[in-house]
Amino acid sequence: MFHQHSEQGLPILTLPKAIENNRWVFYDRGYLIRDPKFAETLSPRLPEGFYILNRDVQVTTEEVIPKRTLIQLSYSKNATPIVYVGKFEGSTIVFPKAGFKFSAQILGYLDEAGFRAPTPQQARHLH
């Protein structure tokens, strides 16, 4: 993960530590980026989260993920997009542990889902 600033004023890069619920958890400490040209080598990515496909996406010659499908977006350690397709189990939408890897082109086929879900670290309270 790349941040434009740190307490020292320089950009900082934090590395992925583990993946939980198809989301990366990052190390608490990062590396200061002293060479401004390094940031130019990075490709922008959409945030991990929930999106709606804005077109049909061909997965295999026989399998298509239909337009308007709710997906969860994550990335490999090499920043390759991974799409997890939501499905109903009873009255719950669940996402599998395995997803489909795509080129960065898939990012153009995603619209924000328009809702937020708690991160695994956030406490959940009933009111």
Domain for residue 122, yes or no?
Answer: no
Domain for residue 121, yes or no?
Answer: no
Domain shared by 81 and 105, yes or no: yes
Domain shared by 21 and 35, yes or no: yes
Domain shared by 73 and 48, yes or no: yes
Domain for residue 86, yes or no?
Answer: yes
The residue ranges of DSSP E strands in 59-125, in sequence order, are 64-65, 70-75, 81-85, 87-89, 92-94, 100-101, 110-112
Domain shared by 48 and 105, yes or no: yes
Domain shared by 103 and 56, yes or no: yes
Q: Whole-structure pTM over 0.85, yes or no? A: no
Domain residues for the domain of 29 are 1-42
Mean pLDDT of the chain: 84
For 86-111, the pLDDT digits (tens) are 999 998 899 999 999 999 999 999 99
Q: Which residue has the higher pLDDT, 55 or 123?
A: 55
Give me 55's structure tokens. Answer: 């077109």
Domain for residue 105, yes or no?
Answer: yes
Q: Are strands 81-85 and 70-75 parallel, antiparallel or unpaired?
A: antiparallel
Specify the amino acid at residue 94.
V
Q: Which residue has the higher pLDDT, 19 or 124?
A: 19
